[in-house]
């Protein structure tokens, strides 16, 4: 019985941790459907936001390049599929999303 209870508590903890990561995703990422290709901690179609933050850590020009990439799209640096353009996202919203990603 103790074994079952320990496993149930462990499973519940994992579900809560997963929910916390999903809740941390900015609403703008949901609004602009970024979550279709990106997650915070794991590769989906595109790279994980945490991996993007690591790649550009300390790069002073990263924000401007990434804002442009969010809006205009870009090459397949992370694999064969390039970032598709998102012309409907404003530069201000793209900057908020990029700040979130680079802040991880």
pLDDT at residue 6 above 60?
Answer: no
Query: Residue 28: is its pLDDT beyond 80?
Result: yes
pLDDT at 75: 75
User: What would the two tokens of residue 15 be?
Assistant: 């579900």
Give CATH superfamily name and number for 26-102: Cytochrome c-like domain (1.10.760.10)
Could you tell me if 59 and 43 are in contact, meaning their C-beta atoms sit under 8 angstroms apart?
Answer: no
pTM, 2 dp: 0.73
Q: Which helix (H) or strand (E) holds 58?
A: none
Question: Residue 76: what pLDDT?
Answer: 63
**Alpha helices by DSSP H, 1-104:** 2-24, 27-31, 49-56, 62-72, 91-102
């Amino acid at each position: 019985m103790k074994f079952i209870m320990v496993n149930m508590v462990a499973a519940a903890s994992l579900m809560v941790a997963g929910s916390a990561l999903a809740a941390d995703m900015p609403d703008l990422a949901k609004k602009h459907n970024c979550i279709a290709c990106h997650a915070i901690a794991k590769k989906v179609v595109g790279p994980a936001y945490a991996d993007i933050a690591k790649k550009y850590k300390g790069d002073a020009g990263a924000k401007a390049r990434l804002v442009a990439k969010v809006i205009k799209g870009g090459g397949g640096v992370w694999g064969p599929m390039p970032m598709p353009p998102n012309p409907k996202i404003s530069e201000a919203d793209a900057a908020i999303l990029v700040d979130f990603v680079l802040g991880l």
